[in-house]
């Protein structure tokens, strides 16, 4: 398995502005404003094609998940500080109907691919196990908090190098701003510090479970939380530089530590965990 780019610096550039109560969209095509009343749910005519309900205790299901460890020795992008472990219950386990991804303050110096990191975590991907073009995605999760934590639920293209293949960020959260949850889209035309994105305040994101959702079609991508849309990205029909989203992508669940977006780390918060109750993928079927 080739190594994959991790999350990039996401300062939102011209696409969004962070207001006192929420992220709001600026006038940057092809982003569209979304009314507060816009709703998101499994569309009519769609059926469940892939899921993990985390109903069997132990390590994550190897038939569905792969561990991405490819940049441990060299160090992960964005100046992130974590070592992503392989199968290791201390960092990823299924227990009581939930996947628990845990970031810890510890050094696995005996690991052959250790790169000097003082924190461990896990990055689970579905590459080669589950990849999709279009669909409705729902991940029910409770997020970690604490300065320096950076959990994410997102998708990448297997075949093309980032950013040409595009990136769909269903959910990101940075622990120094508890309750600020956001979604974004990276393309060749806008990526790194300049993606398209928006979000909203979820005051209990770190104490309660919420449904993080995305509906991706050939025309648009909607992102929502608990059935309420907060961001819409439209296909401008100008080619792959702004719309590389007609090819399959795989799902990623991870907690990064520190880095350009995670920021300064408070060591007293560890261990911290992202708990996931289910991952569900629906697609249109005859």
Instruction: Read off φ and ψ for residue 26, nearest 5 degrees.
Output: -100, 180
The C-alpha atoms of residue 253 and residue 14 are separated, in whole angstroms, by 27
Q: Read out DSSP for 228-271?
A: EEEEEEE--SS-TTT---SS-EEEEEEEEEBHHHH-S--GGG-S
The C-alpha atoms of residue 215 and residue 232 are separated, in whole angstroms, by 10
Has 167 been annotated as catalytic? Answer: yes
Residue in 131, 172, 232, 275 annotated catalytic: 172
The C-alpha atoms of residue 93 and residue 152 are separated, in whole angstroms, by 17
User: 150: Cβ–Cβ under 8 A, 6 or more apart, which residues?
Assistant: 7, 80, 172, 173, 174, 175, 255, 256, 257, 258, 259, 261, 262
Residue in 80, 131, 138, 167 annotated catalytic: 167
Has 106 been annotated as catalytic? Answer: no
The C-alpha atoms of residue 24 and residue 43 are separated, in whole angstroms, by 26
The catalytic residues are 167, 172
């Amino acid at each position: 398995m080739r190594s994959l780019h991790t999350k990039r610096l996401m300062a939102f550039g011209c696409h969004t502005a962070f207001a006192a109560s929420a992220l709001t969209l600026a006038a940057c095509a092809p982003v569209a404003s979304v009314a507060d009343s816009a709703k998101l749910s499994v569309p009519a005519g769609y059926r469940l094609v892939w899921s993990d309900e985390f109903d069997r205790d132990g390590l994550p299901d190897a038939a569905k998940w792969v561990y991405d460890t490819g940049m441990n020795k060299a160090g992960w992008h964005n100046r992130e500080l974590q070592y992503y472990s392989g199968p290791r219950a201390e960092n990823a386990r299924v227990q009581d109907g939930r996947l628990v991804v845990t970031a810890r303050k510890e050094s696995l110096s005996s690991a052959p691919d250790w790169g000097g990191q003082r924190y461990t975590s896990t990055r689970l991907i579905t590459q080669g196990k589950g990849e999709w073009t279009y669909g409705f995605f729902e991940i029910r999760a409770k997020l970690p908090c604490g300065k320096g934590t950076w959990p994410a639920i997102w998708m990448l293209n297997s075949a093309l190098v980032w950013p040409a293949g595009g990136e769909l960020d269903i959910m990101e959260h940075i622990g120094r701003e508890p309750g600020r949850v956001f979604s974004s889209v990276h393309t060749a035309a806008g990526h790194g510090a300049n993606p398209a994105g928006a979000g909203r305040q979820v005051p209990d994101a770190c104490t309660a479970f919420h449904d993080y959702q995305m509906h991706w079609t050939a025309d648009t991508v909607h992102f929502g939380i608990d059935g309420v849309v907060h961001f819409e990205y439209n296909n401008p029909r100008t080619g792959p530089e702004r719309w590389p989203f007609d090819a399959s992508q795989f799902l990623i669940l991870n907690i990064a530590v520190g880095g350009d977006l995670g920021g300064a780390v408070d060591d007293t918060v560890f261990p911290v965990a992202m708990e996931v109750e289910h991952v569900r993928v629906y697609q249109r079927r005859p």
